[in-house]
Amino acid sequence: MKLRRWIDWTGLNILIPVFILLIPWVQELIDQLFYGGQWNLPMAPGGSFLGVLTAPFSHGGFGHLLANSLTFLPLSWLVLLRGRGDYLAVWLGVYAAAIPVWLIWPVGSHGLSGVVYGLLGYLLLIGWLERRILSLVLSLTVLLTYAGILPSLLPIFSPPGVSWIGHISGFMGGMLAAWAVARQNLPDPRV
């Protein structure tokens, strides 16, 4: 019975990021078919707060969306191995870190890359905060696998038109989530 529940739980966790990805893929398809690539839902300076919520689901074309999707799926699955609460914490951390960017930054941005970097920031930090062997192995594996995309956190390594501020704010949101999750999992010192 436990195996069946684990399979059901794992199957749902595999599908969660796939269902999330349906949103930007449908949006991009509608955008390309009916609006010629002009229907974007970015987080824009001076724009509505709604843009903060819709920005991860809006992309500048199928190439942009595909690149984000290919990284979003495996990183999402790795976070979901730890639990749905951790996954939700990353999304909330990314959104929380995006708000100051929306309020202050003079250039708009959109795309799942902020969430991708949030997932990455979470996975890189959680092992070091928890100091448990499996968490450390996860963090080290993610570092070795995804170290190549870390330079795009800096403006000097980001191509023109790529929102490095969206990357770094997402990364910081993921690290905030890791801190919150690790803090929640600490044993109570009063016991």
Q: What residues contact 46, with CB distance under 8 A and at least 6 apart? A: none
Amino acid at 112: L
Q: What is the pLDDT of residue 186?
A: 65
pLDDT tens figures, 11-59: 789 999 999 999 999 999 999 999 999 998 899 988 999 999 999 999 9
Q: Give, rounded to a whole angstrom, the gap between the first and last alpha carbons of the chain.
A: 34
pLDDT tens figures, 63-103: 999 999 999 999 999 999 999 999 999 999 999 999 999 99
Q: What is the pLDDT of residue 185?
A: 74
In angstroms, the CA 133 to CA 29 distance is 43
The packing angle between helices 62-82 and 133-146, to 10°, is: 170
Q: What is the pLDDT of residue 46?
A: 87
pLDDT tens figures, 107-159: 989 999 999 999 999 999 999 999 999 999 999 999 999 999 999 999 999 88
The domains located in the chain, with CATH, are: 2-184 (1.20.1540)
Of the candidates 74, 80, 60, the residue with the CA atom closest to the CA atom of residue 141: 74
Q: What residues contact 72, with CB distance under 8 A and at least 6 apart? A: 17, 21, 112, 115, 116, 119
Token pair for 100? 């100051």
Residue 160: band (very low, low, confident or very high) from pLDDT cuts 50, 70, 90: confident
Strand spans (E) along the chain: none
